[in-house]
Amino acid sequence: MLKVSNVSKNFGGVAALRGVSLTISKGTIAGIIGPNGAGKTTLFNIISGLYPQDEGEVFLEERNISFLSPEKLVRLGLVRTFQNLELFGRMTVLENVMVGLHTKSSSGLLSCALRLPKQRKEEKRIVEEAWKCLELCGLAEVAEKEAASLPLGQGRLLEVARALATEPKIILMDEPAAGLNTRETTGVADLIRKIRDMGITVVLVEHDMELVMEVCDHISVLNLGQKLAEGSPREIQDNSAVINAYLGED
């Protein structure tokens, strides 16, 4: 589904990623873990087209997507969420999700300003689909609230709802459970599984080990910009190199 091949990235002489390769198979939940500064978010930023990599390539279903812009990638079915919520704060929750349907609609500047019949029909469809996403993520009650006013837990859900609205094939989630309490985290875990069962591949960067071990089918471990290990949750838990990286050498 998604293949990262030998990707490297330097920031002013500091190597954030050094020749990282990953393969993520279709319909799975893949976890990427690693200590702070391991390069997880950098990897996400490269895959989602926000940073250009210095070396290496990224493939989505055999197609080379290296250096494609985010707005192109979403049309190919790749979308992500942000760890530091990047919600459209002054818009309502519903409107946030409606922006997610941008690529699934086509009305232009003129037909929007003139409110042509075709645009109105499309608008109705967008609203309906947006409601479906909100219901799926349990946000229907707060649909008319301003996004900036949401508590963190619902904000994280909105990130996911908005990403789902783009009808992705693969969704990259950057720490969807960070800062959430146990009950909320369980909710996120259920949602992630639900998304996978819809046939969407999930890539998860997360610090909450319990969550990762519980939901992931496959885990890759990054440390200091390199891939340290990969395997099933069981294998990773027993891997001595991984334990060392987390607890310090020796």
Partner 1 sequence: MKKTDQILFFAFSVCILFLPLILKESYILHVFVFIGINTMLAIALNLLLGYAGQISLGQGALYGLGAYISAILSAKYGVNPWLGMGVSAVIVSAVAFIVGFPILKLRGHYLAMATLGLGIILYIIFNETVDWTGGPSGFPGIPNLKLGSLTFDNDVANFYLVWFFALITMFLALNLYQSRIGRALRAVSDSEVAARIMGVDAWLLKVKIFAASAFISSLAGSLYAHTVTFIAPASFGFNFSVELLTMVVVGGLGSVFGSFLGAAILTLLPEWLRVFHDFDIVIYGLLLILIMMFMPRGLAGLVSHLKAKVYVESK
* Nearest residue (CB) to partner 1, 18 versus 104: 104
CA distance 171 to 232: 20
Largest CA distance in the chain: 69
Q: Taking Cα atoms as reference points, which of 162, 154, 122, 114 lies closest to residue 138?
A: 154
Locate 161 and state its tokens.
């709802």
How many residues touch partner 1 under the rule CB under 8 A: the total is 37
DSSP 3-state of 111: helix
**CB of residue 135 vs partner 1: minimum separation in angstroms?**
20
* Nearest residue (CB) to partner 1, 50 versus 241: 50
Torsion of CA 220, 223, 229, 232, to 10 degrees: -40
Q: Taking Cα atoms as reference points, which of 206, 228, 213, 224 lies closest to residue 37?
A: 224
Does 74 bind partner 1 (CB under 8 A)? Our answer is yes
**CB of residue 68 vs partner 1: minimum separation in angstroms?**
12
CA distance 106 to 59: 27
Neighbouring residues of 151: CB distance < 8 A, sequence distance ≥ 6? none
Q: Which of 54, 55, 61, 95 binds partner 1 (CB under 8 A)?
A: 95
Does 98 bind partner 1 (CB under 8 A)? Our answer is yes
* Nearest residue (CB) to partner 1, 113 versus 241: 113
Q: Which region, judged by CB under 8 A, interacts with partner 1, from 54-62, 114-122, 213-221, 233-241? A: 114-122
Q: Which of 162, 169, 218, 227 binds partner 1 (CB under 8 A)?
A: 162
**CB of residue 2 vs partner 1: minimum separation in angstroms?**
16
Does 102 bind partner 1 (CB under 8 A)? Our answer is yes
Q: Which of 8, 33, 122, 203 binds partner 1 (CB under 8 A)?
A: 122
